Amino acid sequence: MSRLSRKTIKKADALYVLRFLSFRSDLRQLARLKPATLRSIPGIGAAKEEKLAQWQKLAIFGSEIAWVGPMIFEDATRILELKGKIDNLEAQMEELIEQSPLATLLISIPGFGVVCAAEVGGEIGTMSRFDSESGLAIYLGMAPLDNSSGKYKGTKSPRQVNKRAKAAMMVAMGHHARIVDESKAYYMKKREEGKTYNQALRSLGRHLIRVIWSMVQNKRPYELKTKAIAI
């Protein structure tokens, strides 16, 4: 296998790297590709070509390349195929989101990508199922029950929790806390109070459920007080 510089190629799963690795079944040939050939690979422009040229200068192959190389080629090819299928599924989900007033509101919240908005919106179905925002919070797993006893302090999930919706909410909350200043401050406050990572995210989620409830009642998308950080 070739020796790679971490400074040369930082992300082995970057699309241009995967396309490069799947360009030849014999990886040793990759070290001899000419600049014009490198730039012919989709996603590789002048800057990426320069990085790969640096890799070519450092490439050293051991005896195991004969059997490891084909495995890397097959893995890179397979990952690209899966990424293509995922992109197609997300495109279909975007179309479905446009048909759902609830999902359309959810995706306006920073951190709620296509997958999370579709998952949460799909699992909720219709907001008419809930009499209050507290019921919605319980269903989405953002309102755990107190499970403290003696010196032990903890929580447990109510039986009514939708586990798939909760998992999607936790992913969305993780992104939301990183890119919205007010939410990040709220999350950090909860951590300083001694809450674990998951507990702090659920606290933030519980707060956001009130916002979502108001968004649905007023049919208004999420409004940021400050600009979200791009990720």
Instruction: Give yes or no: residues 20 and 124 share one domain.
Output: no
Instruction: Please state, in angstroms and rounded to a whole number, the distance separating the CA atoms of residues 118 and 93.
Output: 7
Same domain, 200 and 120: yes
Q: Are residues 64 and 156 in the same domain?
A: no
Mark whether 201 and 136 lie in a shared domain.
Answer: yes
**Are residues 125 and 65 part of one domain?**
no
6 in a structural domain: no
Instruction: Specify if 10 maps to a domain.
Output: no
Q: Three-class SS of residue 22?
A: coil
The verdict on residue 117 lying in a domain is: yes
Q: Tell which of 64, 88, 112 closes a domain.
A: 88
Number of domains within the chain: 2
Give domain status of residue 7, yes or no.
Answer: no
Last residue of a domain, one of 49, 66, 88: 88
Residues 80, 117 share a domain: no
Whether 214 and 104 map to the same domain: the answer is yes
Is 61 a domain residue?
A: yes
Are residues 31 and 75 located together in one domain of the fold?
Answer: yes
Query: Is the same domain home to 56 and 124?
Result: no
- Tell me which residue of 219, 143, 134, 224 sits closest to 176, measured CA to CA: 224
Within-domain flag for 95 = no
Residue whose C-alpha is closest to residue 2's, from 71, 87, 60, 54: 60
Instruction: Name the burial class of residue 131, with classes exposed (0-12), middle (13-18) and buried (19+) by CB atoms within 10 angstroms of its CB.
Output: exposed
Distance CA 138, CA 153 (A): 20
Phi-psi region of 99 (alpha: psi -120 to 50; beta: other; left: phi over 0): alpha
Q: Judge if 108 and 179 occupy the same domain.
A: yes
Same domain assignment for residues 112 and 203? yes
Residue 5 inside a domain? The answer is: no
pLDDT at 160: 78
Full DSSP string of 95-138: HHHHT-HHHHHHTTSTT--HHHHHHHHHHH--GGG-SSHHHHHH
Residues 135, 66: one domain?
no
Q: How many CB atoms lie within 10 A of CB 41?
A: 17
| Domain extent at residue 197 | 100-218
Rounded to an integer, what distance in angstroms lies between the CA atom of residue 103 and that of residue 124? Answer: 10
Residue 45 lies in a domain: yes
Q: Running along the chain, 231 residues long, what does each successive block of 10 average in pLDDT?
A: 47 81 92 94 91 90 89 94 93 91 95 94 92 93 66 59 94 95 95 93 95 95 71 49
Q: At which of 61, 88, 115 does a domain end?
A: 88
